[in-house]
Structure 1
Amino acid sequence: MPPASTPPSSSSSSADALWFAPAQLLRLFGSSPVAMAYWGHDQRLRLATPQWCEWFGVPTNGIVGQLLDEALPADFAQQHQVILQAASQGQRQQFDTRKTDAHGQVAWRRISLSPHFWPGTGGSKTAQGTLMLMQDCSAEYANAAQADALRAQLAALSSSDLERTEEKSELLKLRTLLDWRTAMLAEHSEMLQLLSHEIRQPLNNASAAMQATMSAIADLQLSQTTPATKALLRAEHVLQQVIGTLDNTLAAGTILAAGGRAGASSDTDLPTLVNLVLHDIAADARPRIQVVWDAEARTVQLHPALMRLTIRNLLNNALNYAPADSPVLLRLADTDDPLALIIEVIDEGPGIPDSLRPRLFEKGTRGSEHRHRSGAGLGLFIVRSVVQLHQGTVQALPRQPNGTIMRIELPQGLDD
């Protein structure tokens, strides 16, 4: 594992307080298959996992502290100079890149660049740091190429005389291959879910460790501990943003895209689900959330993992777009006719512009302030997709005198 480089001088900005984190984060990520890097607004690397270094063919020793242009291969940095610059200016970027090994095998990676703005710097046009996540998408390209080839063969055979025995046999073989490919894609989806657990676990461990450290520092009641507490809060924000990005990306790419199959709903303890959702929210934002219980039922029928992600997305949206000190209400209610669970997230933000409402739940849709916030516009798309899997409805309702009510209605008592 590469040792951390010497930290920058004390004249660096407050965002450089994250310099303490690389050695600790590398120990957490080193055994996971994540390829990621993080650099500050000064373009110096704060974190680079071994998998990231391996892809770019750079040594792991001494990589932390180098300028990004020095660490990346010259041809890559030159080819993607505009994209890297846009990320440093607060614009989220995503693109695919490939490389060919000595045996002629082509590997693909999907690169996501997520700018981050610390609390209090929302008005800045320059990101205080940029996170690079690399996702292996080689199978996606290989499957697409194989599917295109098989479809072309099927089209060619279908235009011929299907009565000929040999051609019927070929069609049967091709259909068998397509069935095999469908089964392989299902297995691939299961592997992605397993991989998401392996990636998310060290991130959750790091977040828990940081929260425990902040609690221990607070118990000391020493004035000089304030800078350390702020640095830990910033580090936890980065971790929560990475966890949210991973969860949304994996949900959109696997469960929600797998023919509308989310797995069977199960009896779920509603208070436990709410507690898990609150635990997912960054520690310093958690006190703003007020839970209102208007539901008599404590056990409900739903898919707990997907609904946990759905409620978290709604709460994070409300926390991000509403005034910093305003409360956000999470209201839970139920109805008997029809039998349904009602979930509402209520904020005091500026509301949703009329021009945005028709495409609010589409993939990639983001608010007018999106340049100052990380994310890929997947949050509300996943909310709608999960609600549809539960045969429910979701609405964005105006709140008087200002704000928004995101209202979900989930039918209960349905057969799976």
Structure 2
Amino acid sequence: MPDDDRGTVIPPVSVRGVVIHADDAQDVRRQKMARIILDSMYQFLGLLDVDGTVLEINQAALDGAGLSLQAVVGKPFWEARWWEVSGEVRQRVREMIGEARTGRFVRCDFEVFGDLHGSRTIVIDFSLKPILDDDGRVAFLLPEGRNISEKIASNAELSRKNGELQAALERLKELDSYKTRFFANVSHELRTPLALILGPVDQLIKDSENLGERERFRLAAIQRNARALLQQVNNLLDLARIDAERMPMAYVHADVVALVRDVAAGFEAAAEDRGITLRVLGDTELYADVDRGKFVRVISNLFSNAFKFTPTGGRMVARIEGLARERLLVSVQDNGPGVPDALKQPIFDRFTQGGDSLGAAGSGLGLNIVKEFVELHRGTVVVVDAPGGGAVFQIELPLRAPDGAFVRMGNGRETVEMPPVDVALPELPTPANSHSQLHKPRVLVAEDNPDLRLFLHDVLADEYNVTLCEDGASAFQAALAAPPDLIITDLMMPQWDGERFVRALREEPRFPNVPVLVLSARADDALREHLLEELAKDYLTKPFSAQELRARARNLVTVKQTVDILQKELNSQASNILDLTAGLVESRQHLQRSLAALQVSDRRWIGLYENTTVGIALADRDGRIVLANPALQRMLGYGREEIVGVSLIEITEASQREMTKRNVHGLFEGRLPNYKVQKRYVKKDGSYLWANVCASGIPAFAQDGPMLAVILEDVTQRMAAERSLATTRNELARVARFTAMGELVASISHEINQPLSAVITNSDAALRWLSHASPNTEEVAAALKRVNRDANLAGAVISRIRTFLRAGEIRREAVDVGRMLDELLQMLQVMLAEVGVNVRVDLPVDPPCAMADQVQLQQVLMNLIVNAVDAMRDLHEQERTLIITVATEATGGLIFTVQDNGSGIAAGTENRLFETFFSTKQDGLGMGLAISRSIVENHGGRLWLDTRQQPGACFLFTLPDSS
């Protein structure tokens, strides 16, 4: 063994079986080095002579097939273990050697024995490259292969997923057409009951001489809001006709200036009441080929929209002028808040409104109707900013109808039925206030809808002194001038919304702690929790009953008065409270001094802290970073100095900030020992970081207060893959819900017809009582209450349908299982009655409550119930029984059972029931059970078939305890 200059013996080095000695000649050393490189670089690399005899093979290829170099050197290449997959593969390799020896580069994909010492096959990208000598002749062949098994498997899986998604999308298009026809049919059917509501109410108002002022006010509110509902039904019908391409154009050669002036005349009285200046400018006369009814509807909707956002004392201007190239321009301008740039395009989409900041209200169909009708005229509509503030809606139309269209000549100033003016103005004065009494509590009401504002006054005036305000700004001034005992406020209002109004009051240092009751049509759990935690004492969702409102108001006022009495007593004992405060401060200082024994981390912790790939941070009680390791700096994109002071709460995604704030406060307040959560952070560059977060509290040390220790694991790539899968799953779930709704049209129609039939019956009864010589007003009032109740029931059915058809991710909320089952069985009652199924529901003595997505839970149960009913259709002379059982598990979760006595599951299909697109029904889509299992598993549960239950089929699924 050779020595170095100092006499030290240099040992040989062995790498992958190649031994390098210190005394190796230079060319030998280079050959050994090349061997090491080739063995390490390639998955398959070798050298053959021109006849295909093996000269060299790298170690990676030998290890994959479980061979030694001696076993293959000197033998034909195609006879080696790699190619024993089939005779065809051997023959093809031999043919490639024949092609390569002629000087051609050949390449092909092969399945070969190349993994686990030749016991498993892989797919390789294999090539043969001829190596030429100095004279240009082929001297050697160079075989090379790369493992592409994972790539091929990924491509195959992607192709399969794309195929499934394409099939689902095609089905979704078909179901969307069913949805359009369904809503058109429902809207059409609603026109008759609405006519039967409006007719009797109009007659009652006409014959209301013997009714009191309150009764006349209530009838007027019913009439006004029924007309508004009829207008929305007409909008839905028009959109359905447009979608079905069945909206005809009845062209007439008319003076469009006169039509615009006629529409403006319908708004003059309302404009005068609010002090709004309304002007029509431009040409005095301009004839064009238009569909008179649709053109008037477009102009009326634009006027109504401008009127909604024009402030009291503002101005509205309409302008009509002819343009070059046989076109005309109509613009409607207001001086309201204008339309943000981000909304200028989507504001014409269906169900899109001006946004919360504008105090928008309505269905979001008005401007979409404008866009659709303008495009039917082959025109365009845009919105731009008005000079000096506000918005300008501009319509450009051709003056002439398209070639071949029939155009009727107008008959002078021919009248046309004008749409109702959709402006929210009270048509009756405020009901007479009872004389204010000093002993009555004071209630301040902030509500922008005039009818609801007057209704609230009517409900509360007997017990309270009520002050009415139409927006948050005026309510703020009224509250400061005379602090009330209770504030009742809407959320979506012009100028100031309800949240801004209440927050402004809370920021007033001298304003007393007045309870706030929020009234809102937004049934948003996150919003309700946010308001109840920070600003409000109670939250009531519209529609609501007068009795419930009075009860909640009475409770809040009672608590407020009790607190005032206690506060007055405490103020009289201020010296005792000061002594107690001083003692508490002294105790806290002593506690801080006793915790000074904590020590700093040692060097090992510093090394782990600096070099780990997991992000680590220390934060104060406001969630602001005090110290962050390099891994966290890289994750969030901040430098070492600039990350200090960054708030982990503020960079948390908006939807999770309140939860994060509660968790942080819980740690510092000792209510939580630690918590783990998966959440999303906003990085410095604006992109998002998904992370698994573990946080725990660190006690105070020396002069430092308590700290928060946060550990983050970057899971962004994994979440991206999960979101892609979740998107596909949600689309398939929504397809299934549309399928279910198509099958349940008869049930829904039955459920709507019941309350509407009751409305007709009670309206007729009210008319009969009024037709007597001495009208019985008490019976009339009772009948109208029943009309109101049943109309609300019909509205609730439509609301349930829209909720069931909504798209979106899983939303967990407290679900009353008994009530949810009642609603579902009511929806299915026609189908159950048609088949003659007897349903038995077994619930625990105390009805359980589950934390789940109610819509998705209903979908699972609906799929299982519909499958059970279909399985019992063919039973003859035998009772059809469906048993639904809900029981509590020992772990605290719930187990649901759906059992029928039908024909059962066909033998051999049990293992395929939950596969996508597999169905035992002749016309089934095959997604119901697959989607149901996906929904249950997303909730942390399990869905399965119990094959022991006979006869029939028995499906069970569990929901874990999420409390």
Under a length normalisation based on structure 1, what TM-score does the superposition of the two structures give? 0.43
Bigger CA radius of gyration: 2
Under a length normalisation based on structure 2, what TM-score does the superposition of the two structures give? 0.20
Higher RCO (C-alpha 8 Å, min separation 6) = 1
